């Protein structure tokens, strides 16, 4: 596996699919945030949900690259696992203001790190089982 970064080329089918997946995850993030599913709120939140959707787009794009370019199945589950972790750990934090939206962006980054760590542990467990130990 090469540690050199890949260049994004939207002429490639896999990169376009990853971008479409990123837009889909951003829309899911908008719906979850604005309807108060992953935040505690008092109504429809347009600007905070748009702020929250920007890192969701990036998360979905990177996950799409993992899934479509590298053919790794972890990429398809990572955003949804991240949203689930965010809901469990930070779902009771208010999200009415723009400042709260930036706070939830930081929580989303933390949730992504937790989800990646869980995927890492599952990968180690699968490798351990496949080795027959």
pTM summary value: 0.88
User: How much helix, strand and coil, in percent to the nearest 5, is found in the chain?
Assistant: 70, 0, 25
Measure the N-to-C terminal CA separation of the chain; round to a whole number of Å. Answer: 25
- What does each C-alpha distance from 27 to 1, 24, 129, 131 come to in angstroms? 32, 5, 37, 40
pLDDT value, residue 4: 62
User: Is 3 a domain residue?
Assistant: no
User: Is 28 a domain residue?
Assistant: yes
Grouping H, G, I as helix, E, B as strand and the rest as coil, residue 45 is: coil
pLDDT value, residue 73: 87
Number of structural domains the chain divides into? 1
Those residues of the chain that have pLDDT short of 70 are 1-4, 42-43, 133
pLDDT value, residue 9: 83
pLDDT value, residue 68: 93
Range of the domain at 48: 13-130
User: Is 38 a domain residue?
Assistant: yes
């Amino acid at each position: 596996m090469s540690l050199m970064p890949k260049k994004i080329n939207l002429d490639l089918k896999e990169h376009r699919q990853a971008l479409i997946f990123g837009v889909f995850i951003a829309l899911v993030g908008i719906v979850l945030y604005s309807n108060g599913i992953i935040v505690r709120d008092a109504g429809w939140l347009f600007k905070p949900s748009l702020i929250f959707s920007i890192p969701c787009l990036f998360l979905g794009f990177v996950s799409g690259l993992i899934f479509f370019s590298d053919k790794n199945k972890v990429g398809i589950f990572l955003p949804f696992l991240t949203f689930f972790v965010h809901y469990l750990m930070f779902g009771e934090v208010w999200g009415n203001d723009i400042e709260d939206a930036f706070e939830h962006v930081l929580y989303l980054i933390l949730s992504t790190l937790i989800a990646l760590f869980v995927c890492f542990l599952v990968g180690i467990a699968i490798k351990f089982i496949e080795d027959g130990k």
